Chain A
Amino acid sequence: MRPLAALPPPKPKDPREASPLPHSLSSIQVDERVSLPRLGPPDTCLFTLGITDLTTSDFFKISRLQLDDDSTYPSRTEYNCTELDHLQKVYYVEVTSSSFKMVETSAQLTADEEKLYDRQIRLWGIESQKRLRSARLLLIGLGGLGAEVTKNIVLSGIKSVTLLDDKLSTKDLAFSQFLIPPEKIGENRAEASVERAQNLNPHVEVTSETFPLADLNQEYFSNSRWDVVVATGLDQDQLERLDGFCRKGGLKFFAGEVFGMFGYFFSDLNTHSFTKTVKTIPKKGVVKEESVKETSKFPTFSSAINQVFEKNSSQLRLLDPSYFVIKILLKFRAEKKRNPTDSDEDWDQLILLRDQELDKHHHPREKVPDEFLQAVVGAEVGPVCAIVGAVLSQEVIKAVSHKDEPHNNMFFFNPLNNKGTVQKLGKLES
Chain B
Amino acid sequence: MMRANDRLCNNKKLHLYVTMKQTVEFTACGFFKLGYPLVTSIIAAATTYLRLLDANTCFYIAKLTVTPSFLRTNSHRIMALTSISEDLRSKVKSSKILVVGAGGIGCELLKNLVLTGFEDIEVLDLDTIDVSNLNRQFLFQRKHVGRPKAEVAKESCLKFNPKAKITAHCANVMSKEYNMSYFEQFNVVLNALDNRVARAHVNRMCLSANVPLIESGTSGYAGQVELIYKGLTPCYECVGPQEQKTYPACTIRTTPTEHIHCTIWAKYLFNQLFGENPDNSDEEVFDVRADAKNEAGDKEQPKKTSPREWAQQTGYEAELLFNKLFNDDILYNLSMSDLWKKRKPPVPLLWNNNFDDSPSSDSPVGMNDQKVWTIAECKQQFADALKALKEASLELGEGESLVWDKDDEPAMNLVAAAANIRAHVYGIPMKSKFDIKAMAGNIIPAIATSNAVVAGMIVLFALKVLDSKMEECKTVYLRNSVGFRGAFIAPEKHFPTRNPKCFVCSSQQISLVTDMKKLTLKDLEKLVLKGQLSMIEPEVMMDEKVLISSEEGETDHLANKTLSEVGVLSGGQLKVEDFVQNYEIKMIVVDKQLNEDEGRFFITGDLDTMKSSTKEIEAEKSTSETNGAASAPSTSQPESDEDDVVMCTEDEPSTSGLSKRKSFEENPIPVKKRRTEAEDCVIIN
Which residues of A pack against B, CB within 8 Å?
A: 41-42, 108-109, 111-112, 114-127, 130, 148, 151-152, 155-157, 170-172, 174-176, 178, 181-182, 199-202, 259-262, 279, 281, 286-287, 314-315, 318, 320, 339, 341-344, 347, 374-379, 381-387, 389-391, 393-394, 397, 404-405, 407, 411, 413, 415, 417-423
Contact of A115 among B132, B136, B448, B460 (CB under 8 A): B132
- Residue-by-residue, is B108-120 near A (CB-CB < 8 Å gives 1, otherwise 0)? 1001100111000
Contact of B445 among A123, A148, A314, A404 (CB under 8 A): A123
Minimal beta-carbon separation of B494 from chain A (angstroms): 13
Question: Are B491 and A418 touching (Cβ within 8 A)?
Answer: yes
User: B84 in the interface, Cβ–Cβ < 8 Å?
Assistant: yes
We find that the number of chain B residues with CB closer than 8 angstroms to chain A is 79
CA distance A297 to B449 in the complex (A): 25
Question: Are B79 and A379 touching (Cβ within 8 A)?
Answer: yes
CA distance A167 to B623 in the complex (A): 53
Give the chain A neighbours of B481 by CB distance below 8 A. Answer: 404-405
Instruction: Select the stretch in B3-11, B244-252, B416-424, B536-544 that faces chain A.
Output: B3-11
Knowing A119-B132, A341-B79, A418-B460, say if A407 contacts B482 (CB, 8 Å). yes
Which residues of B pack against A, CB within 8 Å?
A: 2-3, 5-7, 76, 78-84, 108, 111-112, 115-117, 131-132, 134-136, 138, 141-142, 159-162, 220-221, 364-370, 438, 443-453, 455-460, 472, 474, 476, 478, 481-482, 485-491, 622-623, 651-653, 677, 681, 684
Give the chain A neighbours of B80 by CB distance below 8 A. Answer: 172, 341-342, 378-379
In this complex, which of A262, A314, A389, A394 has the most chain B Cβ atoms within 10 angstroms of its Cβ? A394
Minimal beta-carbon separation of B366 from chain A (angstroms): 3
Give the chain A neighbours of B221 by CB distance below 8 A. Answer: 123, 394
Minimal beta-carbon separation of A78 from chain B (angstroms): 31
CA distance A389 to B82 in the complex (A): 21
Give the chain B neighbours of A379 by CB distance below 8 A. Answer: 79-82
Give the chain A neighbours of B450 by CB distance below 8 A. Answer: 390, 394
Question: Are A382 and B116 touching (Cβ within 8 A)?
Answer: yes
Question: Are B368 and A114 touching (Cβ within 8 A)?
Answer: yes
Chain B: CB-nearest residue to A382: B115
Question: Are B443 and A119 touching (Cβ within 8 A)?
Answer: yes
Question: Are A387 and B456 touching (Cβ within 8 A)?
Answer: yes
Chain B: CB-nearest residue to A317: B684
Contact of A151 among B160, B448, B460 (CB under 8 A): B448
Chain A: CB-nearest residue to B160: A178
Knowing A148-B452, A341-B82, A420-B489, say if A175 contacts B460 (CB, 8 Å). no
Give the chain B neighbours of A170 by CB distance below 8 A. Answer: 78-79
Contact of B476 among A175, A178, A390, A418 (CB under 8 A): A418
Contact of A374 among B81, B83, B368 (CB under 8 A): B83
Give the chain A neighbours of B458 by CB distance below 8 A. Answer: 383
Contact of A175 among B81, B448, B652 (CB under 8 A): B81
Chain B: CB-nearest residue to A261: B83
CA distance A217 to B221 in the complex (A): 36
Question: Are B83 and A152 touching (Cβ within 8 A)?
Answer: no
Question: Are A119 and B445 touching (Cβ within 8 A)?
Answer: yes
Minimal beta-carbon separation of B648 from chain A (angstroms): 15
Chain A: CB-nearest residue to B366: A126
Contact of A378 among B79, B444, B451 (CB under 8 A): B79
Minimal beta-carbon separation of B68 from chain A (angstroms): 20
Chain A: CB-nearest residue to B450: A390
Question: Are A120 and B651 touching (Cβ within 8 A)?
Answer: no
Question: Are A394 and B82 touching (Cβ within 8 A)?
Answer: no
Contact of A114 among B78, B369, B459, B652 (CB under 8 A): B369
Question: Are B367 and A126 touching (Cβ within 8 A)?
Answer: yes
24 pairs of residues in contact across A and B, judged by CB atoms under 8 Å: A41-B366, A109-B366, A111-B368, A115-B131, A119-B447, A127-B366, A151-B448, A152-B448, A155-B138, A156-B135, A156-B447, A156-B448, A178-B160, A199-B141, A320-B486, A344-B6, A378-B79, A378-B81, A379-B81, A383-B112, A387-B457, A387-B460, A390-B452, A419-B490
Question: Are A381 and B452 touching (Cβ within 8 A)?
Answer: no
CA distance A125 to B574 in the complex (A): 51
Contact of A176 among B115, B368, B445 (CB under 8 A): B115
Knowing A114-B369, A155-B135, say if A374 contacts B486 (CB, 8 Å). no
Chain B: CB-nearest residue to A130: B366
Apart from A286-B622, A418-B460, what 16 extra A-B contacts exist at CB < 8 Å?
A114-B368, A115-B131, A118-B443, A130-B366, A170-B78, A172-B80, A175-B117, A201-B134, A287-B623, A343-B5, A343-B6, A383-B456, A387-B456, A390-B452, A417-B491, A418-B491
Give the chain B neighbours of A376 by CB distance below 8 A. Answer: 83
Question: Are A374 and B3 touching (Cβ within 8 A)?
Answer: yes
CA distance A404 to B295 in the complex (A): 56
Question: Are A381 and B489 touching (Cβ within 8 A)?
Answer: no
Minimal beta-carbon separation of A18 from chain B (angstroms): 37
CA distance A171 to B364 in the complex (A): 52
Question: Are A389 and B445 touching (Cβ within 8 A)?
Answer: no
Give the chain B neighbours of A199 by CB distance below 8 A. Answer: 141
Give the chain A neighbours of B485 by CB distance below 8 A. Answer: 318, 421
CA distance A329 to B365 in the complex (A): 50
Chain B: CB-nearest residue to A173: B79
Knowing A172-B79, A286-B623, say if A347 contacts B7 (CB, 8 Å). yes
Give the chain B neighbours of A172 by CB distance below 8 A. Answer: 76, 78-80
Chain B: CB-nearest residue to A313: B684
CA distance A339 to B81 in the complex (A): 12
Question: Are B83 and A375 touching (Cβ within 8 A)?
Answer: yes
Which 8 residue pairs spanning A and B have beta carbons closest together?
A420-B489, A260-B83, A126-B366, A378-B82, A382-B115, A386-B456, A123-B445, A390-B452
Question: Are B457 and A383 touching (Cβ within 8 A)?
Answer: yes
Give the chain B neighbours of A404 by CB distance below 8 A. Answer: 481
Give the chain B neighbours of A123 by CB distance below 8 A. Answer: 220-221, 445-447
Minimal beta-carbon separation of A279 from chain B (angstroms): 6
CA distance A341 to B5 in the complex (A): 11
Chain B: CB-nearest residue to A405: B481
CA distance A300 to B162 in the complex (A): 44
CA distance A170 to B653 in the complex (A): 51
In this complex, which of B79, B445, B651 has the most chain A Cβ atoms within 10 angstroms of its Cβ? B79
Minimal beta-carbon separation of B466 from chain A (angstroms): 13
Give the chain A neighbours of B366 by CB distance below 8 A. Answer: 41, 108-109, 125-127, 130
CA distance A93 to B447 in the complex (A): 31
CA distance A336 to B7 in the complex (A): 21
Minimal beta-carbon separation of A121 from chain B (angstroms): 7
CA distance A391 to B134 in the complex (A): 20
Knowing A114-B368, A377-B83, A378-B82, say if A119 contacts B135 (CB, 8 Å). yes
Chain B: CB-nearest residue to A172: B79
Question: Are B445 and A381 touching (Cβ within 8 A)?
Answer: no
Minimal beta-carbon separation of B534 from chain A (angstroms): 26
In this complex, which of A122, A279, A391, A411 has the most chain B Cβ atoms within 10 angstroms of its Cβ? A122
CA distance A60 to B460 in the complex (A): 42
Knowing A115-B132, A421-B487, say if A342 contacts B82 (CB, 8 Å). yes
Give the chain B neighbours of A384 by CB distance below 8 A. Answer: 456, 460
Minimal beta-carbon separation of B214 from chain A (angstroms): 12
Give the chain A neighbours of B368 by CB distance below 8 A. Answer: 111, 114
Question: Are B452 and A387 touching (Cβ within 8 A)?
Answer: yes
Question: Are B487 and A116 touching (Cβ within 8 A)?
Answer: no
Give the chain B neighbours of A181 by CB distance below 8 A. Answer: 159
Knowing A383-B116, A421-B485, say if A152 contacts B452 (CB, 8 Å). yes
In this complex, which of B160, B445, B486, B623 has the most chain A Cβ atoms within 10 angstroms of its Cβ? B486
Give the chain B neighbours of A387 by CB distance below 8 A. Answer: 452-453, 456-457, 460, 489
Contact of B134 among A41, A116, A394, A421 (CB under 8 A): A116
Minimal beta-carbon separation of B683 from chain A (angstroms): 8
Contact of A120 among B108, B445, B478, B677 (CB under 8 A): B445
Give the chain B neighbours of A41 by CB distance below 8 A. Answer: 364-366
Contact of B111 among A374, A378, A382, A413 (CB under 8 A): A382
Give the chain A neighbours of B652 by CB distance below 8 A. Answer: 279, 281
Question: Are B487 and A381 touching (Cβ within 8 A)?
Answer: no
In this complex, which of A171, A343, A381 has the most chain B Cβ atoms within 10 angstroms of its Cβ? A381
